[in-house]
Amino acid sequence: MPMTLTWTLTLTRRTMQPLWWLLFLPWYGIAATERIVDTKPDAGLQITALQPGEYQRKVANHRKYLLYVPRSLNAGMKAGSKAGTAVPLVLFFHGGGGHMEQAAKAYGWRETAEREGFVLAFPNGSSAFPRSHLATWNAGHCCGYARDEQVDDIAYVKNVLQDIQAQLPINPQQIFASGMSNGGMLAHRLACEMADTFRAVAAVAGTDNTVQCQPSRAISVLHIHAQDDSHVLFQGGAGEDAFRDKSKVTDFTSVADTIKRWQQRLQLPANANRVLQQPGVYSDRWQSTDGRIQLQLVVTESGGHSWPGGKAVRGKQPSTAIDANTLIWQFFQAQLL
């Protein structure tokens, strides 16, 4: 007699707690040490019903990631966003020396997901240390442990996406990637090697340091950088504080070369349109003749190696001329028009 198997997924559901104490934590490309929030088991919890919460998941090779399902999806706060309806997905990649917990707390993406109604994932880089802290990404010529060990982060990202799509109704036309510093560098690599998966990518303070790049299709790219970045220098190269181990110093690609590479790869016009000019920030955009593919550069005058619109890092104030989360999400949404 044939047997029918029913698979019920049991997850660990992370308790949502007030975040006032996070105001006292620093956030940056090189992350602070912090305590992981305790978890409570919720037997038989089915996230296919879009139950709101934060879930710690494992994929192949026991690598972890955090999955965040906002309350707004479950409550139907966004028009058309309800259980069973395909929803957008954003993957956010922490900076070098960070980890998924730090990224979830530091950059305000959970609040953006609640407001805009999209599923959010925080992948975790590779590390030689316990609990996968002080982790890095293999973005090509950078960085650290992941680069030195030639970690296959492309395969890892594919596994994360497969795991999420098996559990949630993700719209395959609305999958996006963003990252800070080394995480931004990985976003550039994903645009090179997974253009058929991601609709658009956005990098902050992390230039294109890929070894090779041949996108399978044209993909929209947003790059945000401060002129006074002291780690990934605007004019190219690594700042004195970029690496503790000077033997690991990478000659980072300049912002100008990053943009030129993408302009040529995407076969966009040489001349850009100035789409934003205000105190402390300007933005230039290159786009295809039909407007479907966009390359956008946003430059802040100040802020250093930090997240625009975010919290201060070691007394260094980020740029307040823009809010990176809002700008990035608007860029992602513009690709769907």
Give per-residue pLDDT as tens, 92-111. 999 999 999 999 999 999 99
Cα separation, 119 vs 153, whole angstroms: 21
Q: Mean pLDDT over residues 59-85, rounded?
A: 72
Residue 258 has pLDDT above 60, yes or no: yes
Ordered structural domains, the chain, with CATH: 11-334 (3.40.50.1820)
Q: Is 110 helix (H, G, I), strand (E, B) or coil?
A: helix
Least confident of 108-122, 126-140, 151-165, 192-206: 126-140
Cα separation, 28 vs 314, whole angstroms: 9
Planar angle of CA 216, 221, 226, nearest 5 degrees? 145
Q: Is 10 helix (H, G, I), strand (E, B) or coil?
A: coil
Q: Is 112 helix (H, G, I), strand (E, B) or coil?
A: helix
Q: What is the mean pLDDT of the chain?
A: 84
Which tokens sit at 32?
A: 């602070």
Helix ranges restricted to H, the chain: 71-75, 100-106, 109-116, 144-148, 153-167, 182-193, 255-265, 324-334
DSSP string, 220-271: EEEEEEETT-SSB-TTSSB-TTS-SSGGG---PPPHHHHHHHHHHHTT--SS
Q: Mean pLDDT over residues 246-255, rounded?
A: 80
Cα separation, 91 vs 157, whole angstroms: 9
Residues 199-239: pLDDT tens digits? 999 999 999 999 999 999 999 999 999 999 999 999 999 99
Identify the band that residue 250 occupies on the pLDDT scale cut at 50, 70 and 90.
confident
Identify the band that residue 246 occupies on the pLDDT scale cut at 50, 70 and 90.
low
Residue 76 has pLDDT above 80, yes or no: no
Cα separation, 113 vs 107, whole angstroms: 12
